[in-house]
Chain A
Amino acid sequence: MDTFVQLTLTGLTNGMILALAALGFVLIYKASDVINFAQGEFLMIGAYMLYAAIVQIGLPWSLGVVVTLLVAVLLGVLVERLVLRPLIGEPIISVIMATIGLSSLLQAIVRMIWGSQPKAFPAFIPSTPVTLLGATIGADRLWAIAVAVVMMLLFAFFFQRSREGIAMRAVADDQQAAMSMGISVKKVFAWAWSIAAMTAAIAGALVANIIGVGPHLSHFGLRVFPVVILGGLDSIPGAIIGGIIIGLLEAYVGGYIGGGLNQVVSFIVLVVILMVRPYGLFGQEIIERV
């Protein structure tokens, strides 16, 4: 029983972080139909920025977080301006290839500045063990869950209530009709990329707090794929639930079966989902009026 609770909590943390990274991914896909292969690098950059702000510059961590978020927004806007805007009207596949290029570029920049050795991250969230339902878990993991939940609530509010959120969904639905109501598609894309970079940065900071900073953080980007395929590429609740399912699955498989199977189990899920339900659990089917 204790093992079960332990695994559940670990899985939940990982799942929440995966969900955060997946949110940005889904957002970009929803708004612009682009699959962003650089999402993992966004996450890594977020972690490195926080590292630079807190360790190398010596800012207090609260200020460090603000700086990191600002850099993330800037990154999103720059990507929109320099990579996406010149490709407007080009086939989607070119844009997707451009994001692959972008991911290599960001990798290279990070290795140029900080080297390829992983670095210890000053735990800005204390990892003192907490006992919960008979299981022991680091407080940092509980924090990660809390932060992720808050972020998701903010997301939900943003998309249901705010003007920019509605505009973003409108653009995702019908670009030209959105333009006809004065919504600037360019602005919406910039918003989408900025928010994606921001959530990725937060996810990056949470992961870094648990496992340290290093270029390997970008592998998290790859682990997002099973999550979004399971949840549905264009579904925000899907990203969250998919993240939790994949996180739990990996934890249980790792705990009860082991043997490195936890590393691949999510990709097995990915293949199965693609075969039986390619639009995922919550993906948008095309509405047809009869």
Chain B
Amino acid sequence: MLQVNNIEVIYNKVILVLKGLSLEVPQGQIVALLGANGAGKTTTLKAISGLLKPEDGEVTDGSIVFEGVEIHKMDAEDIVRLGIFQVMEGRRVFEHLTTEENLMAGAYTRPAKEFREDLEMVYHYFPRLKERRHSRAGYLSGGEQQMLAIGRALMARPKLMLLDEPSLGLAPLLVREIFAIIQRINREQGTTILLVEQNANLALQIAHYAYIMENGRIVLDGTPEVLRENADVREFYLGLTEVGQRKSYREVKHYKRRKRWLS
């Protein structure tokens, strides 16, 4: 459904952030994109959704193809109309608008007559939003705001939803709840999802396939089962070490393993 082929992204014409990144998101799946801070995960999402331009970023090489259409030179508004919707990091709800007005904004590209029906669908997934439909979004709790951000995306009925760190700043229990809903949306609405996460453990639980990024490149990819067995992933992303073995910092050879990935 989505192919990212060897893209290079440069900010402000000098800062090279993505250095030949490729990934593929097949229809109907949840694909996770994992990596440390500054690896370029958010930049990858913004390259896909066209939100790089206002930040002076540019795809200078490679191509992004969505359902056979090259989209890396298109404007964000046209990309949304093709069916790609990015839920930005940090929730970014419209604070001075009510919950329902936020959802209306999400439905901006949709025909007005389907609004009611879509609204009910969103309230079905997030009953809590219905209770707070007339409160200003700025006064919702963090979890409710994240629900609103995802609900707002659902209103656009996207084929592909790009989720940027939905767990950011939320209590573990809420994170589980939101991840369960993401999984349900994927299953029931058939929405394909590209998920960026720091919480590798959770992401691997719901993803069908995962990529691991470092320094603007994909360094590892595979199904969650395979990745979970990988020694590096266990150590760096899941925080697991061999059972019964004590780790001494003297023996740690992180840098060597990392070097192997980067070459």
Residues on A facing B (Cβ under 8 Å): 163, 166-167, 169-170, 172-184, 284, 287, 289
Residues on B facing A (Cβ under 8 Å): 49, 51, 54, 75-77, 80-81, 85-88, 92-97, 101-102, 104-109, 112, 136, 138-139, 141-142, 152, 156
15 pairs from A and B in contact (CB 8 Å cutoff): A173-B96, A177-B92, A177-B93, A177-B94, A178-B105, A179-B77, A180-B49, A181-B109, A181-B156, A182-B80, A182-B156, A287-B95, A287-B96, A287-B139, A289-B138
Other-chain residue from B87, B108, B142, B156 in contact with A163 (beta carbon distance below 8 A): B108
Given contacts A179-B77, A182-B81, contact A166 B54 (CB under 8 A): no
Residues in A with CB closer than 8 Å to B152 are: 181
* Cα distance, A253 to B156, chains bound together (Å): 54
Closest to A284 in B: B96
Residues in B with CB closer than 8 Å to A177 are: 88, 92-94
Residue in B77, B107, B109 whose Cβ sees the most chain A Cβ within 10 Å: B77
* Cα distance, A167 to B103, chains bound together (Å): 11
User: Taking the nearest CB of chain B, how far is it from the CB of A202, in angstroms?
Assistant: 27
Q: Is A182 touching B92 in the complex (CB atoms < 8 A)?
A: no
Residues in A with CB closer than 8 Å to B86 are: 180
User: Taking the nearest CB of chain B, how far is it from the CB of A158, in angstroms?
Assistant: 13
Residue in B104, B109, B156 whose Cβ sees the most chain A Cβ within 10 Å: B104
Residues in A with CB closer than 8 Å to B102 are: 170
Q: Is A169 touching B94 in the complex (CB atoms < 8 A)?
A: yes
Residues in A with CB closer than 8 Å to B54 are: 175-176, 179
* Cα distance, A31 to B4, chains bound together (Å): 35
Q: Is A170 touching B94 in the complex (CB atoms < 8 A)?
A: yes
* Cα distance, A184 to B50, chains bound together (Å): 12
Residues in A with CB closer than 8 Å to B76 are: 179-180, 182
Q: Is A182 touching B77 in the complex (CB atoms < 8 A)?
A: yes
* Cα distance, A89 to B49, chains bound together (Å): 20
Q: Is A183 touching B95 in the complex (CB atoms < 8 A)?
A: no
Residues in A with CB closer than 8 Å to B141 are: 289
Residues in A with CB closer than 8 Å to B109 are: 181-182
Q: Is B139 touching A166 in the complex (CB atoms < 8 A)?
A: no
User: Taking the nearest CB of chain A, how far is it from the CB of B175, in angstroms?
Assistant: 18
With A163-B108, A183-B108 given, name 8 new contacts (CB 8 A): A170-B97, A170-B105, A173-B95, A178-B94, A179-B51, A182-B81, A182-B108, A284-B96
User: Taking the nearest CB of chain B, how far is it from the CB of A197, in angstroms?
Assistant: 24
* Cα distance, A241 to B56, chains bound together (Å): 41
User: Taking the nearest CB of chain A, how far is it from the CB of B115, in angstroms?
Assistant: 9
Residues in A with CB closer than 8 Å to B105 are: 166-167, 170, 178, 181, 183
User: Taking the nearest CB of chain B, how far is it from the CB of A31, in angstroms?
Assistant: 13
* Cα distance, A182 to B157, chains bound together (Å): 12
User: Taking the nearest CB of chain B, how far is it from the CB of A87, in angstroms?
Assistant: 14
* Cα distance, A53 to B86, chains bound together (Å): 49
Q: Is B95 touching A169 in the complex (CB atoms < 8 A)?
A: no
Residues in B with CB closer than 8 Å to A289 are: 138-139, 141-142
Residues in B with CB closer than 8 Å to A172 are: 96
User: Taking the nearest CB of chain A, how far is it from the CB of B79, in angstroms?
Assistant: 8
Q: Is B112 touching A176 in the complex (CB atoms < 8 A)?
A: no
Given contacts A166-B105, A167-B105, contact A180 B94 (CB under 8 A): no
* Cα distance, A181 to B103, chains bound together (Å): 10
* Cα distance, A170 to B138, chains bound together (Å): 13
Residues in A with CB closer than 8 Å to B80 are: 180-182
* Cα distance, A30 to B212, chains bound together (Å): 42
Residues in B with CB closer than 8 Å to A175 are: 54
* Cα distance, A183 to B97, chains bound together (Å): 15
Other-chain residue from A163, A173, A182, A184 in contact with B94 (beta carbon distance below 8 A): A173
